[in-house]
Amino acid sequence: MIESHERVEQFKQEIGDMKVRDPATGRDRVFLRVGIALMAVGLGVAIAAYFMSHGTSNPLTQNDAVVLAIAGLTSAVVGGALFLRYSLASFMRFWLARFIYEQQAQTDRVVEKLGR
């Protein structure tokens, strides 16, 4: 059997090296902002492509405008999905925290009444 102190040190080392998912919400905020930016940029590009195609009679330029419009709409859809995903996560987290707080407050009230 490994020496006890050595075993404890090994345990600490292994726990320290373990990959633990970072519960921080910082990454969520970044994705939320990226989602908003993609939506705005995508819609802007699509609108610009519309005016671009109307401002020319050259079919090649119009084709470019169509490609730009599709790329813009794709970007807006992806951005919308990101926004929905991370804003919902944020809302649910808030809702859960509030729910736990209310449950706790309710239990405290019951315990207090029972104690009287």
Half-sphere exposure of 48 (CA within 13 A, CB side): 11
- By beta-carbon proximity to other proteins, the closer residue of 59 and 113 is 113
Contact 65, 52 (CB under 8 A): yes
CB of 66 to other proteins, least distance (A): 46
- Binding test (CB under 8 A) with other proteins, winner from 81, 93, 104, 109: 104
**Span of 8-16, 52-60, 70-78, 83-91 interacting with other proteins by CB under 8 A:** 8-16
- Sign of the four-CA dihedral 47, 41, 79, 61: positive
* Segments in the chain forming alpha helices (H): 4-17, 26-54, 59-115
As a whole number of angstroms, the distance between CA 74 and CA 94 comes to 30
Binds other proteins (CB under 8 A): choice among 56, 107, 109, 113: 107
Give contact residues for other proteins (rule: CB under 8 A): 1-5, 7-8, 10-12, 14-16, 18, 20-21, 23, 96-97, 100, 103-104, 107, 111
